Amino acid sequence: MNVVARFASEYSNLLRVLSPQMSLRLALATVRCAPAVFRSRRLTAVDAAMSRNCRIAYRGAVVALPLADIDRLAAVPDDNPTFGNLREMFANDVYLRPFRPDLRADVVVDLGSNRGLFLLVAIKVLRARLAVGVEPETGYAEAFRLLCAANAIAPEKVRRVVAAIAPDAGPGMTSMTDVLESLGGARIDFLKCDVEGAEYPLFAAGSGWLDRIDNLAMEVHPDLGDNRDLLQRLRGAGFVCLATDRFGRPSDDPAAAEFVYASSVGGLSGTGL
């Protein structure tokens, strides 16, 4: 997708979730930031200019996003403005886009939870009874607290595990076996994963826990591992899989895919393989 088509897609998706007031602010920010956008071919400057507390409409839910409050924390050095996360998760809908619109999930686990935005999706859209975020970066804890407060999420509905996910537990690391044990025997109805390449060794060692996952969505990093092996393991565990590029288009070459979606319970509405 060329840069003009990419930006057109980004803005079309944003206008579906932003309020009229925020849409107007987006237009003004785009004009002010146009030189930086053209130089970089990225929307980072616009993301920074859109750092405002707001409410968005996403899949029938109203989600409060205290973007300015979170960005003022500056808890993680060199982090991107939180509006960029809004674009990815809510406007571009990168984690739920191929799943049935009526999909529900009682227990959701978010690997690489970052600020905790997907936990809002879990509670407000998937209607989870419990959402667990696994994130090693302690600097995001206050951002997560702000998100929960802004959306009146009860403390018993969310849980934060401060650790990196790994095939085996160790100092600063937790395993899927540990996560599942903490759920007291419950299945994971939806697993979201964005762990910067650690997904490959994690799923390579997943034979002991994959049969307790119903649906999953993950950002994959093909420069750090083999998507074909990952897909083979998922299919061998009974999942129907879909591999796409960053725009949600089915990938002609799964080895180069940037997102993988899978369901063992018929959760995918798109074409699965």
Last residue of a domain, one of 57, 91, 125: 91
28-60: pLDDT as tens digits: 999 999 999 999 999 999 999 999 999 999 999
The answer on 75 and 112 residing in a single domain is: no
Compute the distance between CA of residue 33 and CA of residue 131 in angstroms, rounded to an integer.
Answer: 37
User: For the whole model, what pTM was predicted?
Assistant: 0.95
216-266: pLDDT as tens digits: 999 999 999 999 999 999 999 999 999 999 999 999 899 999 999 999 999
The answer on 166 and 55 residing in a single domain is: no
Q: Answer whether residue 85 is part of any domain.
A: yes
The answer on 42 and 127 residing in a single domain is: no
The helix (run of H) or strand (run of E) holding residue 142 is: helix 141-150
Q: Answer whether residue 272 is part of any domain.
A: no
Q: Answer whether residue 100 is part of any domain.
A: no
Domain range spanning residue 33?
3-91
Q: Does the pLDDT of residue 75 top 90, yes or no?
A: no
Q: Answer whether residue 137 is part of any domain.
A: yes
CATH number, domain at 180?
3.40.50.150
The answer on 240 and 120 residing in a single domain is: yes
Average confidence (pLDDT) over 113-138? 97
% of residues, the chain, pLDDT over 90: 90
Round the average pLDDT of the chain to a whole number and report it.
94
Q: Compare 253 and 2 and report the one with higher pLDDT.
A: 253
**In the chain, how many domains are there?**
2
Q: Answer whether residue 271 is part of any domain.
A: no
The answer on 231 and 156 residing in a single domain is: yes
